[in-house]
Amino acid sequence: MLKSWTPAEMPEKSDLKEQMTAVQDRLYDLQMKIKEHKLPVLVLFEGWSAAGKGSIIGKVIKNIDPRFFKVATMSAPSTEEIRRPFLYRYMKQIPEEGKFTFLDSGWLEQTAKGVLEGSMSGEAYEKRTESIRRFERQLTDNGYLVLKFFMEIDKDEQKKRMKKLLDSHDTSWRVSDFDMWQHEHYKKCEKVFDRCLKDTNLPTSPWYIIDAGNRKWAELQVMETLVNNIDVALQNQRHSVPIPQNVFPLVNMPRLSEIELKGKTVEDEKYSQELKKLQVHLGELHNRLYRERIPVIITYEGWDAAGKGGNIKRVARALDPRGYEVHPIASPEPHEKSRHYLWRFWTRLPKDGHIAIFDRTWYGRVMVERLEGFCSENDWKRAYNEINEFEKELHDWGAVILKFWVQIDKETQLKRFTERQNNPEKQWKITNEDWRNREKWDQYETAVNEMLKKTSTSYAPWHILESVDKKYARIKALKIIIKELEKVLE
Amino acid sequence: MLKSWTPAEMPEKSDLKEQMTAVQDRLYDLQMKIKEHKLPVLVLFEGWSAAGKGSIIGKVIKNIDPRFFKVATMSAPSTEEIRRPFLYRYMKQIPEEGKFTFLDSGWLEQTAKGVLEGSMSGEAYEKRTESIRRFERQLTDNGYLVLKFFMEIDKDEQKKRMKKLLDSHDTSWRVSDFDMWQHEHYKKCEKVFDRCLKDTNLPTSPWYIIDAGNRKWAELQVMETLVNNIDVALQNQRHSVPIPQNVFPLVNMPRLSEIELKGKTVEDEKYSQELKKLQVHLGELHNRLYRERIPVIITYEGWDAAGKGGNIKRVARALDPRGYEVHPIASPEPHEKSRHYLWRFWTRLPKDGHIAIFDRTWYGRVMVERLEGFCSENDWKRAYNEINEFEKELHDWGAVILKFWVQIDKETQLKRFTERQNNPEKQWKITNEDWRNREKWDQYETAVNEMLKKTSTSYAPWHILESVDKKYARIKALKIIIKELEKVLE
């Protein structure tokens, strides 16, 4: 792309000034429309060292109310970030509805650097660009405007700018070793940039190459592209997108009605003995996980009153508190609701070597959000694939993913609801909403069956915990966790 | 994609039947909605030999009124098609608004075959997949639903089916040599298919892999995907898409006001001599073009009464009538208007070795259609890139592209209009519309300047013909044509 691209002709100085004023006014006016229209705008600036990414961002944001934007400099991943999946630090930065995020370099630079440093081989590169394409597609599918700029300067211009920076004590620190290396290997870097641009150039989030030889002119190009793209995005009242097919390996799951619950019990004494033994064993494994830096994600979904909480408690007790976290997931808060629905889970991912336990999960999208109409049909139908993609990222990162469906029958639920209602100490656990959900049992069952069928991948299969006898379910959960962890620790 | 994909679970026989009836009814109902909504639907079936592409199409169309669809079997390009650009035969087949086209194999198979036969090297393959991505993106950008199915069967199933076909005299002819070869090299072919699928898998036109092991089940998968995608497409009332940046090399063009018209004249006697000499020369070159199979595309745009017709006549007279065609372009007819605006030009492309002269062109999109509101702002803004892509296809095919802008000033136009009005023999040449257009001279000038700037690529630059003295313009046109043709004939 860089090779075939030709810069547009720079206008005369006076024209440039006039056009700049015009486009600045337009951006100023568009702010409120973006807010009204709830459009989230993610703007990525990539490009050559010394091409002026930072200063351009500085210029652009002058036209926007500070409440409406955030700037993030993504240079090198922090130690905290390195211990999480590649996309984590980018997903973390996505804007809320009606707001901008400006990124000063991002996934392009990180990937190109990996290639140049030789840390990213052929297959890893393929996977990486696939991840990026999925990430961007998920954002645009979910209504985001994703704008990507590549700031282009030639080798001579880069030399001139670097020299200027290096000549002053106040600015010489801004030229890093990598910047120097990049300049010395300009041709090689150009080739890698070119390939990365090409491999991440999507119809829904294309690259815009900016002639950054002149700062004013670069600013005008960026501003005009930005404003034109916002205009286009605002024209779409509704925007349903094709639902991609699942391309991940699936494992067969039974329908809920086929799950045998009878006889899945364990005697009290045996339970106490086994529980203790399993918890000790899990505790040992936890230490090894920590040493080997393997991340673990355990998720619980199931009927109300199925016994998720107690189950989680038994697992958690076996673990070193410094190495795990339980995330109870309620309805999203406003700042969560106004972002991609996976955002609040991406941001809660554990560091490697740690365990995250989710009490309810991202599967809310295809259960409660689907049934209550909190998202569109297109949204939840697309979500199966989005979730499989999300879990694939976690798997490729090296995570063990353990997904539990805690199963009881309708009668057992009624018994437990009534018990809760009649027991003053447990009354807080039962709400009107629980009763309302219970009325929709059949609809939920349909949704759950579809979910189990479409998201039980070989790398993140569902496990059923028969929980009419909660003790049985706890023992089973611990056994499954131990078995799966031992597989990766061998 | 093929490797990681897992087939969905086939329903029980009775469920399958029930679901089939339901989806057939839905498709039947959707026909009229597609018509009302003016949605054009292009459905491509690709896949293994003997996977049942043809019979599936037969099943699907049973649910659609014959007035609303067309089936095209694309197997091997005809001799006529081979002499045109790769995309020509596919573009030709795109449906009208509100209608379906079903393609029995297409650009995937043709490309995979090329790779397998070794006729497509690395760079040619890159170009090819880029062409396909552009083609599909142009269609979806222009409101098309593009649906792509890959019919998947394993090697054993293919063997069984081929054997059955070969065992009967009535069907053995259906197994081609290539089919046999494909079966023998199943693994190799799978790898190539996989790569082609991956390289043409766009967010806006993703691939759907169909488990074709069972015919009824395959039909249900296709029908459901088809119907779901139509549903999604019908939900979009308006759908503006990002405007891609030009990535083609541009050459500088003057603004119309900078073009010096004075002194661009030629004396009558010199004109006659030169004209004759140039025409003879061009005639000779035409023969050589024909022998070397180089296609030539000459396009004329310019002000009303600028002298396009007479200019074309002088060029055409030099040519062998068997080897050229003049295409006068008026406003599109209904069957043209209801397709991608470039369709009527794609279908008028010359064979290699032939010359096509267009009197007015695809640039109408960014002139009259823009100014008269015949297309949306998003449409004409996108068109610069679409046109550059179109001409790039022509260039890569080997065509010489000569684009003329015939320039006069406003006074000259008035003089000629008045002359026409007052001359009974020429009155047919002047209409009220011409006078109306003249009133919009300034708006046209703005549009033309933008067009010249944005579409003067190095592989298809604009040439200005100063035509206050029509004779001057004719001599200049001939000289440019000769010069450019000699370049490629060297």
Domains of chain B: 13-235 (3.40.50.300), 260-489 (3.40.50.300)
Which helix (H) or strand (E) segment is B102 a member of? strand B100-104
Task: For residue A241, give the nearest of B232, B242, B458 by CB distance.
Answer: B232
Task: For residue B242, give the nearest of A229, A243, A453 by CB distance.
Answer: A229
- Interface check for B255 against chain A (CB to CB < 8 A): the answer is no
Q: Above 90 in pLDDT, residue B13?
A: yes
Q: Which of B404, B387, B400, B405 is nearest to B459 (CA)?
A: B400
Q: What are phi and psi of B404, to 5 degrees?
A: -110, 130
* Residue contact A137–B203, C-beta within 8 A: yes
CB under 8 Å to B438, separation ≥6 — which residues? B304, B410, B413, B414, B417
Residues from chain B that touch A250, judged by Cβ atoms under 8 A, are 6, 8
Q: What angle do CA A328, A331, A333 make, to 5 degrees?
A: 100
Q: Above 90 in pLDDT, residue A412?
A: yes
Note the pLDDT of residue A424: 87
- Interface check for B205 against chain A (CB to CB < 8 A): the answer is yes
Judge whether B389 and A206 are in contact, CB under 8 Å: no
* Higher-scoring residue by pLDDT: A376, A238: A376
Note the pLDDT of residue A318: 95
Q: B314 CA to chain A: closest CA distance, Å?
A: 35
* Residue contact A235–B235, C-beta within 8 A: no
- The two tokens of residue A476 are 């089973």
Note the pLDDT of residue B6: 84
Q: Which residue of B has its CA nearest to A199?
A: B199
- The two tokens of residue B362 are 């695809």
Task: For residue B250, give the nearest of A6, A202, A246 by CB distance.
Answer: A6
* Residue contact B247–A453, C-beta within 8 A: no
What percent of chain A has pLDDT above 70?
A: 100
Residues from chain A that touch B204, judged by Cβ atoms under 8 A, are 203-204, 241-242
Q: B58 CA to chain A: closest CA distance, Å?
A: 23
Distance CA A460, CA A480 (A): 13
Q: Which residue of B has its CA nearest to A138?
A: B203
pLDDT tens digits along B282-322: 999 999 999 999 999 999 999 999 999 999 999 999 999 99
Rounded mean pLDDT of chain A?
Answer: 95
Q: How confident is the model at residue A255 (pLDDT cuts 50, 70, 90)?
A: very high
Note the pLDDT of residue B224: 96
Which helix (H) or strand (E) segment is A42 a member of? strand A41-47
Distance CA A402, CA A174 (A): 45
Q: Which residue of B has its CA nearest to A247?
A: B5
Q: Above 80 in pLDDT, residue A238?
A: no
User: How many H-runs (helices) and E-runs (strands) does chain B carry?
Assistant: 20, 10
Note the pLDDT of residue B74: 92
- Interface check for A378 against chain B (CB to CB < 8 A): the answer is yes
Note the pLDDT of residue B382: 96
What percent of chain A has pLDDT above 90?
A: 89
What mean pLDDT comes out for the span A77-96? Answer: 95
Q: Which of A308, A293, A391 is nearest to A342 (CA)?
A: A391
Residue for token pair 């023998």:
B184
- Interface check for B330 against chain A (CB to CB < 8 A): the answer is no
Partnered with residue B463 across adjacent β-strands are: B404
Cα–chain-centroid distance for residue B455? 17
pLDDT tens digits along B148-202: 999 999 999 999 999 999 999 888 988 999 899 999 999 999 999 999 999 999 9
Task: For residue B243, give the nearest of A232, A239, A453 by CB distance.
Answer: A232
Note the pLDDT of residue B8: 82
- Interface check for B128 against chain A (CB to CB < 8 A): the answer is no
pLDDT tens digits along A298-339: 999 999 999 999 999 999 999 999 999 999 999 999 999 999
Residues from chain A that touch B378, judged by Cβ atoms under 8 A, are 232, 235
Q: B398 CA to chain A: closest CA distance, Å?
A: 18
Which helix (H) or strand (E) segment is A345 a member of? helix A343-346
pLDDT tens digits along A328-375: 999 999 999 999 999 999 999 999 999 999 999 999 999 999 999 999
Distance CA A429, CA A452 (A): 27
Which of A7-21, A453-467, B342-356 shows the lowest mean pLDDT across its residues?
Answer: A7-21
Residue for token pair 């990026």:
A132
Judge whether A146 and A139 are in contact, CB under 8 Å: yes
Distance CA B465, CA B480 (A): 10
Q: Which residue of B has its CA nearest to A2?
A: B247
Q: B382 CA to chain A: closest CA distance, Å?
A: 11
Task: Say which amino acid occupies B305.
Answer: A
* Residue contact B242–A236, C-beta within 8 A: no
Q: How confident is the model at residue A205 (pLDDT cuts 50, 70, 90)?
A: very high
- Give the predicted TM-score (pTM) of the model: 0.90
Distance CA A217, CA A48 (A): 17
- The two tokens of residue A278 are 């399993």
pLDDT tens digits along B424-449: 888 888 889 899 999 999 999 999 99
Q: What are phi and psi of A296, to 5 degrees?
A: -130, 135
- Helices B308-316, B470-489: axis angle to 10 degrees equals 40
Cα distances from A203 to residues B107, B111, B236, in angstroms, run 19, 21, 17
| Chain B stretch 65-124, residues whose beta carbon is closer than 8 A to a beta carbon of chain A | none
Q: Above 90 in pLDDT, residue B239?
A: no
Interface test with chain B among A134, A211, A245, A253, by most B beta carbons within 10 Å: A245
Task: Say which amino acid occupies A366.
Answer: V
Q: Where are the beta strands (DSSP E) in A135-244?
A: 145-152, 207-211
Q: A319 CA to chain B: closest CA distance, Å?
A: 35
Distance CA A103, CA A93 (A): 8
- Interface check for B5 against chain A (CB to CB < 8 A): the answer is yes
Which helix (H) or strand (E) segment is A163 a member of? helix A155-167
Distance CA B143, CA B39 (A): 7
* Residue contact A141–B378, C-beta within 8 A: no
Distance CA B419, CA B80 (A): 45
Note the pLDDT of residue A9: 82
* Residue contact B245–A206, C-beta within 8 A: yes
How many CB contacts within 8 angstroms connect chain A with chain B?
116
Which helix (H) or strand (E) segment is B209 a member of? strand B207-211
Q: What angle do CA B2, B4, B6 make, to 5 degrees?
A: 85
